[in-house]
Amino acid sequence: MSQDTQPLGGHEGPFDAPVEIHEFALQPDWIDYNGHMNVGYYGVAFDMAFERLLVDQLGLGEPQVHALGQGPYFLQSHMQFLSEVTEDMTICFRFRLLDADHKRGHYFAQMISAPDQTVCATQEALFMNVSHRTGRSEPYPDWAVTRLARMLTDHASLPPELQIGQPIGIRRK
């Protein structure tokens, strides 16, 4: 881990449990001919909200790439679609960090219908810090490891969510 870099924004914590991302606008072209958000854009929306979490809370994401030549790559993502998202809705996101180490993070996020707080979709994902120079995993700077550890501690008391760790497959009785 490197100790020669300074934080790139964000803050040291405490972190809200969960962290909420508000003021998120649906794009008109995300709505398909059925009048709801196309399945492919759920991933785009989760990714855009995750970037805001990285930048605003942890000081990572795009600033990290420009300053340090490293940034988060997704290793795995699992989404569950629970309720339609339609063009007239306002959505927000809730993020909780489930695990982290010096290179990786594991989070769970919910896409929420802002007016009635209905959970529309969830995403569980694993990400890793990768050097743009080598294309290989690289440890986060010490300050980032400390922030991830603090967020993990701040989120440890959140109650379990039904969708965390669920396998994919046809359920048979």
The tens digit of pLDDT for each residue in 150-164 reads 999 999 999 999 999
What are the residues facing 71 on neighbouring strands? 130
Q: Report yes or no on 6 lying in a domain.
A: no
> What is the number of structural domains in the chain?
1
Q: Report yes or no on 165 lying in a domain.
A: no
What pLDDT is attached to residue 163? 94
Q: Report yes or no on 169 lying in a domain.
A: no
DSSP string, 28-90: GGGB-TTSBB-HHHHHHHHHHHHHHHIIIIIS-SHHHHHHHSEEEEEEEEEEEE-S--BTT--
Identify the CATH number of the domain in which residue 128 sits.
3.10.129.10
The pTM (predicted TM-score) of the whole model is 0.93
163 DSSP 8-state letter = T
Q: Domain of residue 30: give its range.
A: 19-155
The tens digit of pLDDT for each residue in 22-53 reads 988 889 999 999 999 999 999 999 999 999 99
Q: Report yes or no on 84 lying in a domain.
A: yes
> 62 and 122 in contact (C-beta within 8 Å)?
no
The tens digit of pLDDT for each residue in 114-124 reads 889 999 999 99
